A and B are shown apart, each in its own frame.
Chain A
Amino acid sequence: MTQIIKFKLIYPKWEKLKGQTTFNLPPHGPVVFAASLPEYVDVSFTDENVEDIDFEEECDLVGISMMLSTQVNRGWAIAAEFQKRGKKVIFGGISTMLHAEETVNHADAIFLGESEGRMEEVLDDWRHGKLKKVYNYMREQPPIESVGPARRDLYKRELYNHKGVQMVDLFHASRGCRFSCYPCAVSYLGGRIFRPRPMDRIVEELATIENNRLFVVDNSLAQNSEWEMQLFKEMIPFKKKWISHTIEDDPKILDLAAQAGAWYVYQAVFDTSDYIKERVKRYHDYGIGVEGTILLGLDNQTEDDIKKLIDFLLEIDLDLAEFTVMTPFPHTKGYDDLKRQNRIFDFNLDHYNAGQVVFQPANMSPEKLQSLYDYAWSTFYQDESQESKMMRLFTKVMLKEMEDGTWKPRDRSLANKSFGKDVVRNIELKK
């Protein structure tokens, strides 16, 4: 019988953007990875965003899973702590892939690519003291059928709860992306070929998720109309309510999405055209909310353009808006262009949070762009706060759930907790 391996899996914390409502969602990458580990691996998972790491916890091997560039420096520091204690540390996840050349200097091993069907080899090497510095599976993606239900049992559920309200569960129905969007590295990370998971595997996984609210994290569901419609048809019986990125702009598909429980979508707003206005309206016509995602600092934007764009957002009845500044993540066209033009001046990955300007914009100073980013947030939410707009969306989903009988009351026992911490209420008692 193979000896049990105690594997400590860590998701490093990062500094959240100032002035924005913080929600800690249960991370997806680590639990998808954990599902690819053999049965003889006993996983202990720590999401450092919601709990402290116990560096003294007994374990055989440490894994650090990183999604964001802003986790990388912290991931390296965590690795150093464990290495001081004689533990081997292996890194994986998408920001390990983006920053592999630097991360390899802080790791006993880095894993590049998708882990399904690969971990037996890695663990065998470790057991025999032959851990390789790099496990490179970037060019050999596993069969998409081998992606199994994520290990959501590893979550400490009470830590992803805000005042009794459970956060959404993350879920993915496909990998890869056929698009080449300017600021995005997904086609490098997951390949340029859209790889939908087989419907029976999707259904199998959905059936394991107790949470009635999901975030379908696929970069774009609008990659294959037939598949997208089939997906929504399969989702209807589950009566989940869900958030996703773009849904194809087709009445039949939008209708099916609404039937399948589409709650709201993240939709990129890149100009002030009637097309965008109509696109938002069409989502609303089907009862689907829209959170606009607005990237500031592109080379075609002047200060005036950005101000007009923000005015436009206020006109088109967006439910929410999320502003980011252009950030040159490696393996994006944005990075290539800015690198060639020698316009990146800040290489500290802690600042690559899409809220801090790290490059010289084409039509303004970095300081001006930074102030326009602040202006965008404050102007959009000046008449109604982000919390209040979120509450409206939340109310809509509760009403839908009450209609179809899926509503679950909040957990009263956690009413005074927010992500595992006590809620501080500033209530002044009358004397």
Chain B
Amino acid sequence: MHVDSKYFDEIFDFEGEWGLPSKCGLKIIRKPGKKVVVIVTELYQDNPGSSITYGAGSLLQQICRAKGLEWQDVIYLECNPDTNSKLSFYDEEYYQTRFEMIDGQLKNPVYTQLDDNSIKELIY
């Protein structure tokens, strides 16, 4: 169940739960006058550690540190890629994820599943 590279521009190494070395796909979209869109993609069998959802706020903070971004200026999307699985729960899905900053850590994620139009608007 390898993930098609069309979903990401690079593989991002991050520290998952309990320091577990973890990987996700990363795409950063910058458009003039708009917030930066950061898309993290779950890599399933190519991710040796925590999932992007478990990575949550910590993952966004690690990306911001590595890429020189401010979390407030980012639209953060979690992507479940289509893996051509015959099981429907491996279909493509995007969730916009918002966090609260509490004691220096991004916590309490709130997820909004995006429809096709919203995704197109943000990505293309």
Partners in one complex: yes
Inter-chain contact B78/A191, CB cutoff 8 Å: no
Main secondary structure of the interface of A (DSSP, over half): loop
Give complex CA distance A187, B45 in Å: 9
Q: How far is the CA of A270 from the CA of B89 in the complex (A)?
A: 13
Most buried by B among A188, A330, A333, A337: A188
Query: Is the C-beta of B50 less than 8 angstroms from some C-beta in chain A?
Result: yes
Bound together, the chains give a CA A270 to CA B17 distance in angstroms of: 31
Interface centre among B42, B89, B111 (most CB of A within 10 A): B89
Q: Are B18 and A100 in contact (CB under 8 A)?
A: yes
A333–B87 CA distance with the chains assembled, in angstroms: 13
* B113 on interface, CB distance cutoff 8 Å: yes
- Size band of the interface chain B makes with A: 20 to 34
Cβ distance A158 to chain B, nearest Cβ, rounded Å: 39
Chain A interface residue count, CB cutoff 8 Å, equals 30
Is A256's CB within 8 Å of the partner chain B?
A: no
* B19 located at the interface, meaning its Cβ lies under 8 Å from any Cβ of chain A in the complex: yes
Partner of B89, one of A100, A136, A337: A337
Assess whether A179 is in contact with B18, with CB atoms less than 8 Å apart: no
Is A138 within 8 A of B19, CB to CB?
A: yes
Q: Which residue of A lies closest to B51 (CB)?
A: A336
* Residues in chain A within 8 A of chain B (CB atoms): 100, 112, 134, 136, 138-139, 178-180, 182, 187-188, 191-193, 270, 298-300, 330-331, 333-337, 339-342
29 CB < 8 A contacts A-B: A138-B18, A138-B19, A139-B18, A139-B21, A179-B45, A180-B1, A180-B45, A182-B87, A187-B45, A188-B50, A191-B48, A192-B48, A193-B48, A298-B89, A299-B89, A300-B89, A330-B54, A331-B17, A333-B42, A333-B44, A333-B89, A336-B42, A336-B53, A336-B54, A339-B53, A340-B95, A340-B113, A341-B113, A342-B111
Q: How far is the CB of A98 from chain B (nearest CB, A)?
A: 10
